Amino acid sequence: MTEPRKIRLATVSLAGCFGCHMSLLDIDDHLFELAGKVAFDRSPLTDIKRCGPCDIGLIEGGVCNAENVHVLRAFRANCHTLVALGACAVNGGLPAQRNHLDLGRCLTAVFQSRPGMDTGAVPDDPELPLPLDQVHPIHEVVHVDYFLPGCPPSGEAIWAFVSDLLAGRTPRVAHPLLHFD
């Protein structure tokens, strides 16, 4: 018997806190099982810098700047199945709490009126990605196939969700695993 092909999985954190990635590592014993079934493509867990063709992409975090848009689009282009992982990817989360504020005033507040930051100006280095005027959940920028909310989703929820995906079942997250907090 030939070994079943390993599922290629990529993950990324956009405007997130890596909490969801920590939770992913929190699946404890299942990590070995997962490692047996999947090969990691681009991910903070690997050193791969660009996402190649993948079966599954897990996106943590919302879209807050131009770079996030590029990365998200690359994931969408390469991943057969794209998953919004965690509150920020699902609805913008904490970063989106700035959405009712004017971006200009946010930038001024950060760069011009904070002690230690008084360079006098908002940085204009072309290397730096420009922020969008509002933070968007990822489904407002690309088509998203599945959503796993939670801040972060528990290791248990992630494992249940990923197992479903790997087994070819429509992932279902219900009480008590489904959480928005």
Q: Is the dihedral of CA 56, 60, 64, 66 positive or negative?
A: negative
Nearest to 158 by CA among 22, 27, 14: 27
> Per rule CB under 8 A, is residue 146 in the interface with another protein?
yes
Spell out the residues 6+ positions from residue 61 whose beta carbon is closer than 8 angstroms to its own.
12, 13, 14, 15, 16, 17, 20, 68, 86, 88, 89, 93, 95
Rg (CA), the chain: 18
Among 31, 141, 156, 166, which residue interacts with another protein (rule: CB under 8 A)? 141
Region 51-70 residues binding another protein, contact defined as CB under 8 A: 66, 69
Smallest gap from residue 77 Cβ to another protein (A) = 4
Four-CA torsion 40, 46, 49, 50, nearest 10 degrees: 0
> Per rule CB under 8 A, is residue 139 in the interface with another protein?
yes
> Per rule CB under 8 A, is residue 173 in the interface with another protein?
yes
Binding mask 89-128 for another protein (x = CB under 8 A): -xxxxx-xx-xx-xxx--xx-------------xxx-xx-
Smallest gap from residue 142 Cβ to another protein (A) = 6
d(C-alpha 58, C-alpha 162), whole Å:
10
> Per rule CB under 8 A, is residue 163 in the interface with another protein?
no
Specify the stretch interacting with another protein by CB under 8 A; choose among 4-12, 26-34, 49-57, 71-79: 71-79
**E strand or H helix at 157:** helix 155-167
> Per rule CB under 8 A, is residue 174 in the interface with another protein?
yes
d(C-alpha 170, C-alpha 24), whole Å:
19
Total number of residues that touch another protein (CB under 8 A): 55
Query: Which of 123, 168 has the CB closer to another protein?
Result: 123
Binding footprint of another protein on the chain (CB under 8 A)? 66, 69, 73-74, 76-77, 84, 87, 90-94, 96-97, 99-100, 102-104, 107-108, 122-124, 126-127, 129-134, 136-137, 139-144, 146-149, 151, 172-176, 178-181
